[in-house]
Structure 1
Amino acid sequence: MKRLLLCVSVLAVLTACQPKSAEMYTEAAEYDQTYVPAPTGERPNDERYDGKAVSPIVRVADRPVSTFAVDVDTGAYANVRRLLNDGQRPPADAVRTEELLNYFRYDYPLPADKKQPFSITTEVTTTPWNPNSRLLRVGLRAYDVPRSERPAANLVFLIDVSGSMDEKDKLPLVQHALRLVADDMRPRDRVSIVVYAGAAGIVLEPTANPAQVRRALGQLKAGGSTAGGEGIALAYATARAAYIDGGINRVILATDGDFNVGISDPEAIKDLVRKNKDDGITLTALGFGTGNYNEALMEGIADVGNGNYAYIDSASEARKVLDDELSSTLFTVAQDVKIQVEFNPTQVSQYRLIGYENRILAEEDFNNDHVDAGDIGAGHQVTAIYEIIPAGGTGWTDERRYTGTASPATPSNELLWLKLRYKLPNGTDSRLLEQAVPVQALRDARAPQGDMAFAVSVAAYGQILRGDKYLQGFGFDDARRLAGGQSDFRRQEFLELTKLAEAAN
């Protein structure tokens, strides 16, 4: 048998150099997909989250305009699933309802023309938990890019190989997940591998050979402290050196987020990422593991790095993020995407945005192209749900005795005015899309059905986990009934999660 000598040594984080065949390499690195981590309760728990309070009620007379940045991250959904599967009730700070909503795909139409990166869908229904309110759904769907049309990719795998990664649901799962990306490589793509533990080093220079990527991944072993800041700096330098004009240039960070030597302050690490993103290099943050998981840092890094964040709790989730949705994960079609809704005070008296608490922007930020916002990848979908009180209806707060009146120029046939700003990739000037939602949509509101019912069910599930006091006793069993029977595997799994949440409640 032909022997292949692979000698790679980076600061004692790799295995000793020894001859191996390519076949032996693949078999040795295979991930045990039946592995189930020990419940969190059996291990020290020092997980860190950065939660926000549930969005407040807003009076249209006080603030008719709501502005927020889009979010395509899905990490909170998988992390909440992991906690529920462990028999734990997720802390409220770990639940971001928008990420639960955006984990799923809905029946939004494709955009008619790639000159406009996404379609916009709106729908108004009654509210299952409040007869006095209505629900408004705003949905975006970006255009899809077939694998064959995806631009050439320059990817840098930045892998944490510190001692904290020495668990089956950490480094072995990282190796399995990134092998999926290697399997999808095309001749024009390049992959480099940078690792960090007590220090950082380059394991694999840019290569178009998937077998070399798989072999290098298979050699990794965990040990030592975590110099994450040094690793990030080296990864960006490696990406710049292999930069592809007009291509995908992205760092894929895989870690539990437990940075403990060198640059370890979360804000300093985010500043480091922020300084490098202007070179046209984006970042995907993949979170792994339990017990010491720093979710607050992982989400924050992705936000400032013009990228996305996912939590990988299983081989199945790895395939979803890095195989089924790889083009969405890698290829950005619109940057700094912001949504602004102006409610007509003659039609709506109060509202609240469900989720997106850490994405809220000031009204004036909408037109400021220097204010950073969320990016959307090919095929990505974004869903936002408002709960609104029709004018004259019974709201969460009493009507005020002294209140202003709407301008005579306020259109009576409009429920709201919806605006969306975005930049094309690497663009500097934003583009504006805007449209009215007619008041007839409010008058025609019926109980949510089908796809909308499922979205509302997911939103309710998230808000129940967050302790939302405005759900008026609407429970996990109600959310499950609202979702109805589902044929899709991931939607079926959601129904089971509502049962686990009910048991852990």
Structure 2
Amino acid sequence: MKTQIKLLTLAVTTLIVTGCSKLHNTNTSVTEIVSEPTISPVYAPAPVSPLSKQRSASGNSLGPQRILSAYTYPDFSRPNVNTEKYQNLEQNPVHEVLKEPISTFSIDVDTGSYANVRRFLEKEGRLPPIDAVRVEEMVNYFNYSYPNPAGQHPFSINTEVVDSPWKKNARLIKIGIKAKDIETQQLPPANLVFLIDISGSMDMPDKLPLVKKTLRLLTEQLRPQDKVTLITYASGEKLVLETTSGNQKDKILRVINGLRAGGSTAGESAIQLAYKEAEKSFIKNGINRILIATDGDFNVGITDFETLKGMVAEKRKSGISLTTLGFGTGNYNEKLMEQLADAGDGNYSYIDTEKEAKKVLQRQLSSTLATVAQDVKIQVEFNPVTVKEYRLVGYENRILKQEDFNNDRVDAGDIGAGHTVTAFYEIIPVGQKGWLNESRYQANQNVIDSQKNKEYAFLNLRYKQPQQKNSILLSQPITVKTQPLNQASEDTRFAIAVASYAQQLKGGSYNGEMKWQDIITLAESSKKKDDFGLRQEFIDLAKIAKSLSSSPKE
């Protein structure tokens, strides 16, 4: 009997040593677990295994698992390290007016950077990566009370010049655009294709569950004349809801509520299918738009950034736009989300909370879906008699060549109903010390012309009516009329506070002596009527950023 026990013990020991050796050779951690793949329809409840009752040492459920002896293997569907991707953009440089008097850029109505930065500050308690901060998206997150358009054009143009808080003797030129409002019930019929990422990486509380809440909000506002198609994609794409009228909300919601995550991410073929379905249900003179909800973590099929961007840019010629709704953390590909929306003549938003979903797809539904002007370009010619130097604040990935302005084949940003767009130039008037040294051999040869010294610059703007090929030109001068910052409109002061906040998050190299408390004070003095608490929330974010800053002068 003792001999049999010894033999049994030896056999068990051998098995354990062999198993450990194999695990060691494959570099597999003895503490990792693997999720059991669910084989079920993408919109049906996933089966629950008895093993799903297992819990971690902390008491939290580890989900459905496959137990492999005493060891398990890693779950590659979820990121273990931070792999978030952002576009690396250097801040716009200072230009000499004598050498480069003309500045050209495309408008931008995206707001995703603001919400994403908020996530870093509020939820993660840390300052965001510098590349996650885009000044124009911070400023344009807020609506401003610019006058509604009164004439034949779909937007109004508003300018204001104030003293800069960033550099002594500098001025800030604000250019504000306000698109005409369209009530939701007055929108043209909409053909909407929801393209939903249900891959394994979306199986997190701030991803697919929040996507479903977002889609429910949009579904609630559908009208009988609207149509919805729903496509999911993971290891493969699937049409889970064929084109359905907006009055069948229960049917649409059942499909949304049943979405489950699992598998790798094959985004390219799913986008192709989305365009195919959108073309089948195309509404002439209506809204035709794909809304893709994902973390942008494409890892199957065409994953090359430029290839995906080029494909979407080609598809926009069909009259179908692409809006991107970004979700999640850890593996979030913000670069892809923002650039796909730009290429697809849509807009990019980052959804970090249900409150943000309501802002984008409930209160601002008209501006999210309905385009009132396409390919909107701004070109400013600075007057060398009155301006010595200038820099454009933000819009780094929207810069256009001078010749692009008159070329109607060059794409630019679109503006939706009710949108406001704001841009700032910081300028150094002639006779004041600027950022650059005076040239020894190219002294200012300007002759003061009494007719020209009344203008800082001349503003040109081009846009197209939706689905038209030829652009329309608008022009107006920006006069030499400056007011102190404390006498500027509340909207201008608040927008400058937001721009200052964004520049400070990017290192503050252009903020001069302005500190975090100065930014907070400026915002507090200009928060005016704040129906949804967005301006107060901004002030709270600035206070968080101040507390996280390590700079001794802050």
Report the TM-score when normalising by structure 1. 0.90
Q: Cα deviation per residue 1:25-79 (whole Å; 9 max; x = unaligned)?
A: xxxxxxxxxxxxxxxxx96311000031111111101111111000000000000
Q: Distance in 1 between the 2:447 and 2:366 partners?
A: 47
What residue in structure 2 maps to residue 473 of structure 1? Answer: 513
Partners of 1:353 and 1:387 within 8 A in 2: yes
Q: Distance in 2 between the 1:187 and 1:17 partners?
A: 32
Q: Distance in 2 between the 1:210 and 1:424 partners?
A: 33
Q: Distance in 2 between the 1:72 and 1:56 partners?
A: 22
SS at match of 1:83: helix
Alignment partner of 1:355 out of 364, 374, 394: 394
What residue in structure 2 maps to residue 212 of structure 1? Answer: 251
**How far 1:226 sits from its partner (Å)?**
0.3
**How far 1:451 sits from its partner (Å)?**
1.6
Q: What letter is aligned with 2:454?
A: N
Cα gap change, 1:369 to 1:476, in 2 (>3 Å) = same
Q: Distance in 2 between the 1:408 and 1:371 partners?
A: 37
What residue in structure 2 maps to residue 497 of structure 1? Answer: 541
Q: What letter is aligned with 1:138?
A: I
Q: Distance in 1 between the 2:187 and 2:374 partners?
A: 17
Q: Cα deviation per residue 1:120-174 (whole Å; 9 max; x = unaligned)?
A: 0100111112222011100000000112210000000000000000011000100
Q: Distance in 1 between the 2:219 and 2:258 partners?
A: 15
Q: Cα deviation per residue 1:328-351 (whole Å; 9 max; x = unaligned)?
A: 000000000000111111111001
Q: Cα deviation per residue 1:246-282 (whole Å; 9 max; x = unaligned)?
A: 1000000000000000111111111221121110000
Q: Distance in 2 between the 1:190 and 1:262 partners?
A: 29
Q: What letter is aligned with 2:470?
A: D
What residue in structure 2 maps to residue 424 of structure 1? Answer: 465
Percent identity (aligned): 52
What residue in structure 1 maps to residue 131 of structure 2? Answer: 93
What residue in structure 2 maps to residue 464 of structure 1? Answer: 504
Alignment partner of 2:413 out of 369, 374, 378: 374
Q: Distance in 2 between the 1:403 and 1:46 partners?
A: 50
Q: Cα deviation per residue 1:415-454 (whole Å; 9 max; x = unaligned)?
A: 2100100001111000000001122x13x45544522111
Q: Cα deviation per residue 1:219-244 (whole Å; 9 max; x = unaligned)?
A: 11000000000110000000000000
Cα gap change, 1:407 to 1:431, in 2 (>3 Å) = farther
SS at match of 1:367: coil
What residue in structure 1 maps to residue 270 of structure 2? Answer: 231
Of the structure 1 ranges 462-471 and 280-289, higher mean CA displacement relative to structure 2 is found in 462-471
Q: Does 1:403 align with 2:432?
A: no
Partners of 2:46 and 2:260 within 8 A in 1: no
**How far 1:470 sits from its partner (Å)?**
2.3
Q: Distance in 2 between the 1:73 and 1:435 partners?
A: 26
Alignment partner of 1:103 out of 134, 137, 141: 141
Q: Distance in 1 between the 2:39 and 2:472 partners?
A: 46
Unmatched segments (≥5 aa) in structure 1:
1-8, 19-41
Q: Distance in 1 between the 2:370 and 2:130 partners?
A: 32
Partners of 2:503 and 2:510 within 8 A in 1: no
Q: Cα deviation per residue 1:69-115 (whole Å; 9 max; x = unaligned)?
A: 000000000000001111121011000000000000111000003x2
Q: Does 1:180 align with 2:231?
A: no
What residue in structure 2 maps to residue 150 of structure 1? Answer: 187
Alignment partner of 1:484 out of 518, 521, 524: 524
Q: What letter is aligned with 1:97?
A: V
Partners of 1:352 and 1:386 within 8 A in 2: yes
Alignment partner of 1:45 out of 79, 82, 85: 82
Q: Distance in 2 between the 1:367 and 1:457 partners?
A: 34
What residue in structure 1 maps to residue 283 of structure 2? Answer: 244
Q: Cα deviation per residue 1:391-432 (whole Å; 9 max; x = unaligned)?
A: 111111122232353478772222210010000111100000
SS at match of 2:92: coil
Unmatched segments (≥5 aa) in structure 2:
1-37, 48-78, 550-554
Of the structure 1 ranges 473-482 and 424-433, higher mean CA displacement relative to structure 2 is found in 473-482
**How far 1:504 sits from its partner (Å)?**
1.8
Q: Does 1:15 align with 2:44?
A: yes
Alignment of 1:258-407 (within 5 A): 258-401=297-440, 402-403=442-443, 405-406=445-446
Q: Distance in 2 between the 1:403 and 1:10 partners?
A: 75
**How far 1:472 sits from its partner (Å)?**
1.7
Q: Does 1:140 align with 2:169?
A: no
**How far 1:11 sits from its partner (Å)?**
7.3
Q: Does 1:453 align with 2:493?
A: yes
Q: Does 1:116 align with 2:153?
A: yes
SS at match of 1:172: helix
What residue in structure 2 maps to residue 63 of structure 1? Answer: 100
Alignment of 1:188-207 (within 5 A): 188-207=225-244
Partners of 2:40 and 2:46 within 8 A in 1: no
Q: Distance in 2 between the 1:230 and 1:188 partners?
A: 29
SS at match of 1:132: coil
Partners of 2:108 and 2:413 within 8 A in 1: yes
Cα gap change, 1:11 to 1:372, in 2 (>3 Å) = farther
Q: Distance in 1 between the 2:139 and 2:86 partners?
A: 19
Q: Distance in 2 between the 1:407 and 1:188 partners?
A: 63
Q: Distance in 1 between the 2:40 and 2:113 partners?
A: 34
Of the structure 1 ranges 205-214 and 191-200, higher mean CA displacement relative to structure 2 is found in 205-214
SS at match of 1:66: strand
What residue in structure 2 maps to residue 125 of structure 1? Answer: 162
Cα gap change, 1:236 to 1:379, in 2 (>3 Å) = same
Q: Distance in 1 between the 2:476 and 2:293 partners?
A: 40
SS at match of 1:387: strand
Partners of 1:11 and 1:199 within 8 A in 2: no
Partners of 2:485 and 2:493 within 8 A in 1: no
Q: Distance in 2 between the 1:71 and 1:51 partners?
A: 18
Q: Cα deviation per residue 1:356-379 (whole Å; 9 max; x = unaligned)?
A: 011111111100111110000000
Q: What letter is aligned with 2:404?
A: D
Aligned residues between the structures = 471
Of the structure 1 ranges 478-487 and 419-428, higher mean CA displacement relative to structure 2 is found in 478-487
Q: What letter is aligned with 2:127?
A: R
Bigger fraction of residues in strand: 1
Cα gap change, 1:211 to 1:482, in 2 (>3 Å) = same
Cα gap change, 1:200 to 1:394, in 2 (>3 Å) = same
Partners of 1:200 and 1:227 within 8 A in 2: yes
Q: Distance in 2 between the 1:251 and 1:11 partners?
A: 26
Q: Distance in 2 between the 1:47 and 1:246 partners?
A: 38
Partners of 1:10 and 1:201 within 8 A in 2: no
Q: What letter is aligned with 1:459?
A: A
